[in-house]
Amino acid sequence: MVVAKRKYEIIDPRTGKLDRRIFIEQAIYDEEMEKIFGRAWQMVAHESLLPNKNDFFHSYMGEDPVIVTRDARGKVHVFLNMCRHRGNRVVRADDGNAKNFLCTYHGWTFGSDGRLEYVPGEQEAYYGALNKEELGLVEARCETYAGLIFACWDKEAPSLEAYLGDARWYLDTQFNRTDAGMVAYGPSKWMEPVNWKTPVDNCSDNYHVPISHHSSAYVKEKFLGQKMRTMAMQLAIPNANHHVFVNGHSFTFQVTEGNEPRGVRMYKDNAELYMRYYGETHDEVERRLGSYRANHIQLGNHSLFPNGVLGFRLALPRGPLMTEFWHFEMVEKGMPDELKRVLRQRGAANNGPVGLNEQDDIDNWRSVTESSRSPIARRTGQLLTMGAGHSGRHDIWPGDVSERYISENNQRNFYRRWLEFMNADSWADIPLEPMTAKYEGDAGMG
Ligand code: FES
Ligand SMILES: [Fe+2]
């Protein structure tokens, strides 16, 4: 194994100081596109977005536009949206159904399985010398977990199962509960003038919640009957909420007394429906996840390395100082329509440029990114010391579990994961944690 010479040292292990250059420098950003987005598994779509043969959905891996297709035999593929002739985009729509993709430049035509099927003047202009077999759309590796479609450009990368590793033990409790699976609605899309890493690191920063989201929490308590969480509640020990880093991915989760729905999605107007639905699906969920996870583990905020955040949401890099967000609302397919409707409505009220929570976050993230531009401010790094030395292994919960719910352990680890990708010559240099989680139930990869 060739060990890469370390190039980046961005976080001081002693002081927790983080070098702000990684948020603004174009050269670092360009390297991220290759070393992180060119290597990591990334969420690109959900199976429910392309249910029929020849359906397609247009998505992105980093800055690369990709077409997610279901071919005529039902197999899902992910292709670079680039004609093999001169590089024109072959798909201009967000989604649809098409047996073929005709390039609007010179008419090369590709099948939904990516094969180059037709070239105008193939015999005449090219004298029959083109090898069409070799000129199909550039294809990424594609695997699914619980209906979520992931793709990866790197042939050396491990399987998606190994890439998620023990993170799946937690993810299952939100994405893999029922036989019917989930449905993704959306996405809503918007741009924010922030570096892509800031919202990803923010996903398990629950320190900010009672402060940044005070006014929206106040509104939700007053009008929707959702109990406000104070800083004292967040800091209390013991605490039902926890903070954990697993194989590159960051999570918060709650250990509940019994089979309870995720509190954050429960409001006055859906509580009864929600509780009834949870009761009705209990046996099925227990069969799939085993008794302990079905009854006691609820996934909270989380991010999947590199840029999957808060459920099925993508933080797509658009230069060092801009991120395009795609937010999908995910609901279980078997939920009653009325419950689906209120969940979608509440999701839309929270997320997106006019979302109650989102507006608070946007302002912080923009300002944190902006600070990194000033050479004077850059002399003083971000401070990520909270809870250093206060995390470890737990008998049941996989990963590096913080002693407290409020900690920056996940953030330090996220930037260390960034270093592991950025300082590696190839996947042979990128460590993976062994899978040790014990899975009860028959859910599998879904
Ligand atoms: S660029 Fe697509 S046919 Fe020429
Ligand atoms: Fe927030």
Distance (Å) from CA 71 to ligand 1 centroid: 22
Q: What percent of the chain has pLDDT over 70?
A: 99
Q: Let me know if residue 155 belongs to a domain.
A: no
Residue 181 and residue 262 share a domain:
yes
pLDDT at 263 exceeding the cut of 80 = no
Q: Let me know if residue 444 belongs to a domain.
A: no
Q: Let me know if residue 109 belongs to a domain.
A: yes
- C-alpha span between 203 and 197 (Å, rounded): 10
Residue 377 and residue 325 share a domain:
yes
Q: Let me know if residue 213 belongs to a domain.
A: yes
Distance (Å) from CA 1 to ligand 2 centroid: 41
- C-alpha span between 65 and 108 (Å, rounded): 19
What DSSP state is assigned to residue 352?
A: S
pLDDT at 413 exceeding the cut of 70 = yes
- C-alpha span between 111 and 423 (Å, rounded): 38
Helices and strands of the chain, counted as H and E runs: 12, 21
Confidence of residue 259 (pLDDT cuts 50, 70, 90): confident
- C-alpha span between 359 and 18 (Å, rounded): 25
Distance (Å) from CA 208 to ligand 2 centroid: 7
For residue 53, give both structure tokens: 């043969």
Tell me how far the alpha carbon of residue 60 is from its chain's centroid. 12
Q: Let me know if residue 19 belongs to a domain.
A: no
Residue 361 and residue 409 share a domain:
yes
Range of the domain at 91: 42-144
Residue 120 and residue 171 share a domain:
no
Q: Let me know if residue 351 belongs to a domain.
A: yes
pLDDT at 345 (0 to 100): 87
From 99-113, 127-141, 277-291, 371-385, the region with the lowest mean pLDDT: 371-385
- CB of 108 closer than 6 A to ligand 1? yes
* Ion ligand 2: residues, Cβ under 5 Å: 361
Query: Of the residues 80, 82, 88, which should be mutated to test ligand 1's pocket, given the most ligand atoms within 8 Å of the CB?
Result: 88
Tell me how far the alpha carbon of residue 392 is from its chain's centroid. 25
pLDDT at 110 (0 to 100): 98
Residue 214 and residue 132 share a domain:
no
- C-alpha span between 41 and 38 (Å, rounded): 9
Residue 91 and residue 199 share a domain:
no
Q: Let me know if residue 27 belongs to a domain.
A: no
- CB of 105 closer than 6 A to ligand 1? yes
In sequence order, what are the residues at sequence separation of 6 or more whose Cβ sits closer than 8 angstroms to the Cβ of residue 297?
170, 173, 253, 254, 255, 256
Residue 213 and residue 102 share a domain:
no
What DSSP state is assigned to residue 337?
A: H
For the CA of 110, the nearest ligand: 1
Q: What is the DSSP string of 278-331?
A: HHHHHHHHHHHHHHHHHHHEEEEEEEETTTEETTTEEEEE-STT-EEEEEEEEE
Residue 293 and residue 323 share a domain:
yes
Q: The pTM is what?
A: 0.96
| CATH number of the structural domain spanning residue 259 | 3.90.380.10
From 25-34, 176-185, 341-350, 386-395, the region with the lowest mean pLDDT: 341-350
For residue 110, give both structure tokens: 């590709």
Domain termination residue (choose one: 112, 144, 176) = 144
| CATH number of the structural domain spanning residue 93 | 2.102.10.10
Number of structural domains in the chain? 2
Residue 285 and residue 223 share a domain:
yes
Give the helix/strand (H/E) hosting 338.
helix 337-350
Residue 172 and residue 99 share a domain:
no
Query: Of the residues 79, 84, 86, which should be mutated to test ligand 1's pocket, given the most ligand atoms within 8 Å of the CB?
Result: 86
Residue 319 and residue 252 share a domain:
yes
The label of the residue with tokens 């009854």 reads: 295
Residues 43-98 have pLDDT tens digits of 999 999 999 999 999 999 999 999 999 999 999 999 999 999 999 999 999 999 99
Residue 73 and residue 214 share a domain:
no
Confidence of residue 1 (pLDDT cuts 50, 70, 90): very low
Q: Let me know if residue 37 belongs to a domain.
A: no
Residues 346-389 have pLDDT tens digits of 888 889 988 988 999 999 999 999 999 998 988 899 999 999 99
